[in-house]
């Protein structure tokens, strides 16, 4: 009887340990969540069916999974749902043009930065705005909840009187620019360049000041932070190649 | 002046069109499930059993008293934390839309049931017909006919409100239009296409409903 009980215990322990091993199985895909609405960082080629999310961040994601030796599963969500989805365990990490800020650090963990954002102003073609110093007395459009919005409010103190107009969608901001309700829109450099070339009557003015650094986002206490940072260290060359492929600002 | 440029998004129109089946799937499935749940709730509401009555009234007050957007967000984001079940977008959408439309439909059904002359129930009871049969064979068929116009209204509402699924990442018509807008940096045009699609769907639905209504009137 005693022996039987022991066998049972051993059996159970093996079962439990198997279960744990399966958890870290090299075949379990890494779930990376993204909001595919921000070309060239993450978007869908809708003209070709839009089945796959592509872009700078996605190439980084695939390269990273290669280095980690794990298959990757890209999960799609609305931007506002990304952090809740990490917290509820739907995804292992997020790569979605997210900048590491102290405010965000309160609810999530970040990897080391993998890309330094450029900044640019979108203005009407005939505007005489060349740097952020020329913004005094103007209205500046920014996307709600972005680090550009934070920077805009910093400029309010440095270059008064500056008004910040904060809207949720880039398209709305471009529309406001065309309607003369904002004089400039602050956004990422490559994004600005693309919008300018797609929208007649609007140009992009690159800024000297650099943007925040992009990082990979994890749920708090994720075991992935350390291994990802380790791999990011040896991915410099890869990331540079990916940048040349997608980003033409420089 | 606004210049509309459909040429740039033309190749992406099929992508938006694919959203029609997503939107219809959410609407159709939730409506069917909501129909059943709504009918049950309506029966509770007209029953003599106090706890059932109270429950149905409370249920309706909750789901009519809070925004659907909030219900959807809670179902999707709170379920994994509360019940340790990672609910998918599809399941969360169906659940929220079903629970919500059941609340409204139950009110429409109740109104429909109460519009049937009470004398019919009394007459049937005096003939010794059991209550479940009275409901099933006499009252409910008339009640459904009575409440058909409001059921159609609710269906149309649900069809349009299903666009809320895009807030949690469901790739329906609206979300597809927004993705195209972001990809192509054109704001209006994809939304106009999405608007036209919703309009056509609602028109088809209401034409069909008118047809059914006419049939039932002659029945």
Domain span holding position A185: 119-206
Nearest partner of A85 among A131, A31, A135, judged by Cα: A31
Q: Is the pLDDT of residue A20 over 90?
A: no
Please state at what angle helix B188-218 crosses helix B173-184, rounded to 10 degrees: 160
Q: Is B16:B194 a contact under the CB 8 Å cutoff?
A: yes
Same domain, residue pair A13 and A104:
yes
The reported pTM is 0.82
Q: In the predicted model, what is the mean pLDDT of chain B?
A: 92
Residues of chain B contacting A38 with CB distance shorter than 8 Å: 182
Q: CB distance A50–B166 less than 8 Å? A: no
pLDDT on residue A9 = 47
Overall average pLDDT of the A10-19 stretch:
46
In this predicted model, what pLDDT tens digit does every residue of A85-144 receive, in sequence order?
A: 998 889 999 999 999 989 899 999 999 999 999 999 999 999 888 888 889 899 999 998
Q: Is A202:A214 a contact under the CB 8 Å cutoff?
A: no
The correct answer on CATH 3.60.130.10 for the domain covering B10-218 is: no
Beta carbon pairs, A and B, within 8 Å: 82
Nearest partner of A248 among A166, A190, A167, judged by Cα: A190
**Which ipTM did the prediction report?**
0.77
In this predicted model, what pLDDT tens digit does every residue of A78-93 receive, in sequence order?
A: 888 899 899 888 999 9
pLDDT class for B60, splitting at 50, 70, 90? very high
Q: Is the pLDDT of residue B113 over 80?
A: yes
Overall average pLDDT of the A231-248 stretch:
93
For residue B116, what is the DSSP state? S
Residues of chain A contacting B187 with CB distance shorter than 8 Å: 169, 171-172, 174-175
pLDDT class for A18, splitting at 50, 70, 90? very low
Q: CB distance A49–B15 less than 8 Å? A: yes
Same domain, residue pair A146 and A171:
yes
**Backbone torsions φ then ψ of A140, nearest 5 degrees:** -110, 130
A201 near B CB under 8 A: no
Residues of chain B contacting A195 with CB distance shorter than 8 Å: 185
The residue with tokens 């069809």 is B159
Overall average pLDDT of the B142-154 stretch:
91
Same domain, residue pair A110 and A233:
yes
Question: Residues in chain B whose beta carbon is closer than 8 A to a beta carbon of chain A?
Answer: 8, 11-12, 14-16, 76-77, 80-81, 86, 166-169, 171, 175-176, 178-188
The two structure tokens encoding residue A125: 């073609």
Residues of chain A contacting B76 with CB distance shorter than 8 Å: 81
Same domain, residue pair A104 and A6:
yes
Same domain, residue pair A134 and A192:
yes
Same domain, residue pair A71 and A188:
no
Task: Quote the number of domains for chain A.
Answer: 2
- CA distances, A114 to each of A140, A146, A205, A220 (Å): 28, 18, 24, 19
CA A156 to centroid of chain Cα atoms: 25
For residue A45, the domain's CATH number is: 3.40.190.10
Same domain, residue pair A22 and A109:
yes
Of the candidates A206, A221, A238, which is a domain's last residue? A206
For residue B134, what is the DSSP state? I
Same domain, residue pair A16 and A95:
yes
pLDDT on residue A71 = 95
For residue A102, the distance in angstroms to the closest alpha carbon of chain B comes to 24
The two structure tokens encoding residue A101: 């800020």
Same domain, residue pair A73 and A90:
yes
Overall average pLDDT of the A11-33 stretch:
62
Same domain, residue pair A112 and A223:
yes
Tell the burial category of B205 from Cβ atoms under 10 Å away from its Cβ (0-12, 13-18, 19+).
middle
Same domain, residue pair A141 and A239:
no
Same domain, residue pair A151 and A89:
no
Q: Is the pLDDT of residue A211 over 50?
A: yes
Q: In the predicted model, what is the mean pLDDT of chain A?
A: 88
Strand ranges for B5-49 from DSSP E: none
């Amino acid at each position: 009887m005693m022996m039987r009980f022991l066998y049972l215990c051993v059996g159970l322990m093996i079962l439990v340990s198997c279960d744990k091993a399966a958890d870290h199985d090299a075949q379990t895909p890494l779930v990376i969540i993204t909001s595919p609405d921000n070309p060239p960082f993450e978007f869908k080629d809708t003209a070709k069916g839009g089945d796959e999310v592509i872009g700078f961040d996605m190439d980084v994601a695939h390269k990273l999974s290669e280095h980690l030796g794990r298959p990757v599963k890209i999960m799609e969500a609305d931007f506002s749902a990304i952090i809740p989805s990490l917290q509820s365990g739907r995804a292992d990490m997020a790569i979605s043009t997210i900048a590491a800020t102290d405010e965000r650090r309160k609810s999530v963990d970040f990897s080391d930065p993998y890309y330094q954002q450029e900044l640019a102003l979108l203005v009407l073609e005939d505007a005489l705005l060349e740097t952020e110093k020329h913004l005094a007395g103007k209205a500046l459009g920014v996307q709600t909840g972005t680090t550009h919005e934070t920077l805009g409010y910093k400029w309010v103190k440095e270059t008064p009187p500056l008004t910040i107009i904060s809207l949720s969608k880039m398209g709305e901001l471009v529309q406001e620019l065309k309607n003369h309700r904002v004089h400039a829109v602050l956004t990422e450099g490559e994004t600005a360049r693309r919008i300018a070339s797609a929208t007649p009557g609007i140009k992009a003015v690159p800024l000297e000041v650099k943007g925040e650094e992009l990082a990979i986002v994890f749920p708090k206490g994720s075991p992935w932070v350390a291994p990802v940072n380790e791999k990011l260290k040896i991915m410099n060359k890869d990331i540079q190649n990916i940048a040349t492929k997608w980003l033409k600002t420089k | 002046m606004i210049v509309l440029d459909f040429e740039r998004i033309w190749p992406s129109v099929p992508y938006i069109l694919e959203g029609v089946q997503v939107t219809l799937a959410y609407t159709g499935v939730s409506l069917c499930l909501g129909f059943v749940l709504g009918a049950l709730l309506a029966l509770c509401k007209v029953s003599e059993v106090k706890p059932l009555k109270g429950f149905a009234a409370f249920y309706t007050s909750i789901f009519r008293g809070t925004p659907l957007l909030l219900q959807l967000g809670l179902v999707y984001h709170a379920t994994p934390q509360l019940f340790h079940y990672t609910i998918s977008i599809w399941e969360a959408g169906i659940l929220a839309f079903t629970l919500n439309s059941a609340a409204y439909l139950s009110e429409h059904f109740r109104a429909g049931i109460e519009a049937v002359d009470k004398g019919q129930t009394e007459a049937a009871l005096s003939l010794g017909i059991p209550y479940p049969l009275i409901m099933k064979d006499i009252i409910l068929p008339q009640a459904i006919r009575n409440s058909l116009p409001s059921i159609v209204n609710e269906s149309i509402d649900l069809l349009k409100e299903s666009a809320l699924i895009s807030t949690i990442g469901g790739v329906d018509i609206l979300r597809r239009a927004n993705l195209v807008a972001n990809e192509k940096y054109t704001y209006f045009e994809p939304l106009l296409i999405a608007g036209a699609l919703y309009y056509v769907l609602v028109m088809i639905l209401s034409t069909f409903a008118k047809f059914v209504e006419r049939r039932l009137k002659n029945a």
